[in-house]
Amino acid sequence: MNLLQIGFLFMTLSALVGVVFSQQNGLPGGIGGFSGIFGLVILLVFIAVISRRPRCPTNYTAISPQSSTCIRAFTTGKSFADARTACQTEGGDLVGLDLLTFDMVRAFADANKGAGPCDFWVGATEAASGVWTGLNSNPISTLGGLFFQTAGDFDDNLANECGILDDGRGYYLYGELCTSLKCYLCQRNKIK
């Protein structure tokens, strides 16, 4: 049931309440009378409440209903630096990795890979071979290989790579040469 359907349901229920109320109180009923106005007022209040809830920017999808973060997939190949700049121009950044939402981000990447194979840049860089940090210097836990397809499968042993969700590894994290042209995932916060 979408928001419009919920709105009409509210309006219908409100109109019924209005009919009963107006009959009990001897007021004029019908859609043009008290019940219709009552329903309309309830609908407007409902719309006002809905429109004040934080929502994702246009073309962005909430990572989860609880998350304040929204993501968008771009399937035009860019280098890591250019992809990050593109995300910042959108008002966000490359998507950060978080264990709570990682599986949802992976599923989103798989569902939005477009026509061809697509590795996605994410907000992770490699300080030394296999040592990953997020874009705001927050270390990324590699304990138990949580962001990796298998523990220890960090990368190809080259240092200073950038992080992709690798289409060949079930969209788990892997290292790539930062100048490679890849698809990318941007994130933005919900807006009010």
Q: Decide whether 61 or 142 has the Cβ nearer to Ca ion.
A: 142
Residue 175 is a binding residue for Ca ion (CB under 5 A): yes
Residues of span 135-174 touching Ca ion by CB under 5 A: 155, 158, 161, 166-168
Q: By C-beta, is 119 or 124 nearer to Ca ion?
A: 119
Least separation in angstroms between CB 163 and Ca ion: 9
Contact 171, 106 (CB under 8 A): yes
Stretch touching Ca ion by CB under 5 A, among 4-12, 21-29, 53-61, 124-132:
124-132
Neighbouring residues of 33: CB distance < 8 A, sequence distance ≥ 6: 18, 22, 27
Name the minimum Å distance from CB 58 to Ca ion: 29
Would you say 178 and 162 are in contact if contact means Cβ atoms under 8 Å apart? yes
HSE, side-chain direction, 13 A CA sphere, residue 56: 17
Of 122 and 166, CB closest to Ca ion: 166
Q: What is the bridge-based pairing of β-strands 182-189 and 120-128? A: parallel
The whole-angstrom distance between residue 28's C-alpha and the CA centroid of its chain comes to 48
**Contacting positions for Ca ion (CB under 5 A):** 119, 129, 155, 158, 161, 166-168, 175
